[in-house]
């Protein structure tokens, strides 16, 4: 249903997550205290209706 498919020049890791908290008093502070970066590599997905129903039922 779902697989990682990195592409040339793009992100190679499946998921990257960065959370940065900067104090206002810090010299790094510019205009925001909380910075979040989320990145995904290339993805290949197969939308199979009945399987998606089963998945959603399972989640519910």
Partner 1 sequence: MDDGRGSGGLEGAELEAQRHKGCMDKPFFLLKLKVKLAYLEAFAIHPDNNSYPLFSIRVGPTEVDFWSKCDHDQISLRVKNLQVFDNTNYFEGTLDPQVEYSKADQILSKRIVGLNTAREQQDEHMLTLNMYLYKFPFEARCEEQQLLREDGRDNIHEHNLLLQMNLKQIEVYFMMEQCLRIVDYALYYIVKLFNTGDANADFDEEESSDDLEDEQHELESEMASIDIDSDNEFTVDFWAKFDLKQDRCCPKLALKLDAPLIIMPNLSEPTERFELDFGRITISSYLILEDKRWLELPKKKFFCMGILIQNKNLRFDFKKGDTEREYQPIMKEDLVEVTVVAPGDSPYFEEKNERGAHIKVPILIDGRVLDMNLIDTSVRVEIKQSLLKLHLKQDVVIELFKCLEHNIMRKDDFTDCFAHALRKRAATIVSISSLEGTRKTNRQRWSKKAAAEEQKDDVSEVFSDDSGAEEQVQTRSKLKKMKTQVTIKASCLSVELRTKEDKLIAEFCMVNFDYGVQIFADDVQRIYMNAYSLFIFHEEDLLTRSKKVMMGHINATHEMVTSDEFYLTLPDQLRRSEFGGADISERKQKVGFELIYDPHAKTQTMTVFLRKLKFFMRPQVFREISEFTIECLKKLDIKRQRELDEAAFNKPHTEDADDPLNDSVLNPLKGTAEDKGTTLTMNFKLLESIFVLERREF
| Interface positions with partner 1 (CB under 8 A) | 5-7, 10-11, 31-53, 56, 60
Q: Which is nearer to partner 1, 26 or 35 (CB)?
A: 35
Q: How far is the CB of 12 from partner 1 (least distance, A)?
A: 9
Q: Which is nearer to partner 1, 28 or 38 (CB)?
A: 38
Q: How far is the CB of 6 from partner 1 (least distance, A)?
A: 7
- Tell me if 15 sits within 8 A of 38, measured CB to CB: yes
Which residues, 6+ apart, have CB-to-CB distance to 3 below 8 Å? Answer: 43, 44, 45
Q: How far apart are CA 12 and CA 39, in angstroms?
A: 10
């Amino acid at each position: 249903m779902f697989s990682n498919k990195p592409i040339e020049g793009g992100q190679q890791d499946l998921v990257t997550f960065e959370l940065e908290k900067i104090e206002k008093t810090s010299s790094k502070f510019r205009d925001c205290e909380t910075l979040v970066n989320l990145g995904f590599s290339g993805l290949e997905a197969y939308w199979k209706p009945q399987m998606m129903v089963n998945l959603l039922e399972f989640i519910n």
